[in-house]
Chains A and B, each alone.
Chain A
Amino acid sequence: MKTFLLSFFQILVSCICFAQEPVEMADHLRASGKIYVVVAVLLTILIGILLLLILIDRKVSNLEKKLKQK
């Protein structure tokens, strides 16, 4: 009975501990401003890919025009 009660209490305590444990987030990264580096890198990649897509779009349009003229 004693061990049962103890273990029950233990589970209860661990539950409370789990609930209060702070969730680890990248707050330091944000606080020191370094997250902006990641955003900048991703923005560069995204803008690059989108520019490529726009260029392909224009090339296809040009080809379509040329074929129509023929």
Chain B
Amino acid sequence: MKKNWWKIICVIFLLYTVVAGFLIDVPHLPILHETIRNQFFHVCMWFAMMILFTVSILYSILHLSSGKQEFDLIASEATNTGIFFGTLGLITGSIWARFTWGTWWTNDVKLNGAAITMLTYFAYTVLRNAITDDQKRGKVAAVYNIFAYVMMFVFILIYPRLSDSLHPGNGGNPGFSKYDLDNTMRMVFYPAVIGWSLLGIWIMTLRIRIQKLKTQSEL
């Protein structure tokens, strides 16, 4: 139980997110209306994804410097879980866009950047699974992962800010931080980010443990 304290925090924060996320007073804004509450869910998917990809690249570097197979496994499962959360982020964003911007998808830099990032990481899994030699697989996947992480940074965090974008927080558009001046949304948003990210880490650790069991039982 001592090792599992963060899972308890995850559960408490997520329960709090759902209850408070629907019940607190949010800023009354045109176009957005009640959908501003999506910030507690949609945005958190991307936070969880970026944290998982960060874990992934750290273990990729560790794998390159030490050559341990275990680190390659962790990097790969972190990427897989990150892709899961990124896909959820894309789908929820698309739904949100339909009811605020009026379309499922626009050729917006932020949206396309997110899509390109997902494709880059899809390529990571394809590349890793295509190589059968264990040693080679880890090395190639780790090197590619470093490229993919840089691409993610450029396409999600840098490029959308340099050009025009509908998405809040980009191209001169203010992020939501400007709206919640009374800080009520932050009281839910920060726990929500931590809660969803911990959920991502939890799922990642489960996947790693199952993979390890698989390799152990094959020996």
A43 within 8 A of B: yes
What chain A residues lie within 8 Å of B102 (beta carbons)? none
What chain B residues lie within 8 Å of A23 (beta carbons)? 28-30, 33
Please tell me which stretch of B12-20, B75-83, B152-160 contacts chain A, meaning at least 4 of its Cβ atoms lie within 8 angstroms of it.
B12-20
Contact code string B19-39 (vs A, CB < 8 Å = 1, else 0): 100110000111001100000
Residue contact B213 to A63, C-beta cutoff 8 Å: yes
Given contacts A30-B23, A42-B18, 6 further A-B contacts (CB under 8 A): A22-B28, A25-B28, A26-B33, A42-B22, A53-B203, A64-B213
Residue contact B206 to A38, C-beta cutoff 8 Å: no
Residue contact A35 to B22, C-beta cutoff 8 Å: yes
Q: State which size class the interface on A falls in.
A: 20 to 34
What chain B residues lie within 8 Å of A25 (beta carbons)? 28, 33-34
B28 nearest in chain A by CB position: A23
What chain B residues lie within 8 Å of A47 (beta carbons)? 15
A56 nearest in chain B by CB position: B206
Residue contact B33 to A24, C-beta cutoff 8 Å: yes
4 tightest Cβ-Cβ pairs between the two chains A and B: A23-B28, A60-B209, A26-B34, A42-B18
Contacts A39-B23, A50-B14 given; does A60 touch B30 at CB 8 Å: no
Interface of B is mostly: helix
Task: Give the CA-CA distance A57 to B213 in the complex, in Å.
Answer: 13
Q: What is A's interface to B at a CB cutoff of 8 Å?
A: 18, 21-26, 30, 35, 38-39, 42-43, 46-47, 50, 53-54, 56-57, 60, 63-64, 67
A42 nearest in chain B by CB position: B18
B162 within 8 A of A: no
Most chain B CB inside 10 Å of its own CB: which residue of A25, A30, A42, A43 = A25
Task: Give the CA-CA distance A67 to B210 in the complex, in Å.
Answer: 12
Beta-carbon contacts under 8 Å, B33-61 to A: 33-34
Chain B nearest Cβ from A59, distance in angstroms: 10
What chain B residues lie within 8 Å of A56 (beta carbons)? 206
B65 within 8 A of A: no
Task: Give the CA-CA distance A30 to B25 in the complex, in Å.
Answer: 10
Chain B nearest Cβ from A68, distance in angstroms: 9
Residue contact B15 to A39, C-beta cutoff 8 Å: no
Chain B nearest Cβ from A35, distance in angstroms: 6
What chain B residues lie within 8 Å of A38 (beta carbons)? 22
Contacts A24-B33, A35-B22, A46-B18 given; does A53 touch B206 at CB 8 Å: yes
Task: Give the CA-CA distance A39 to B7 in the complex, in Å.
Answer: 22
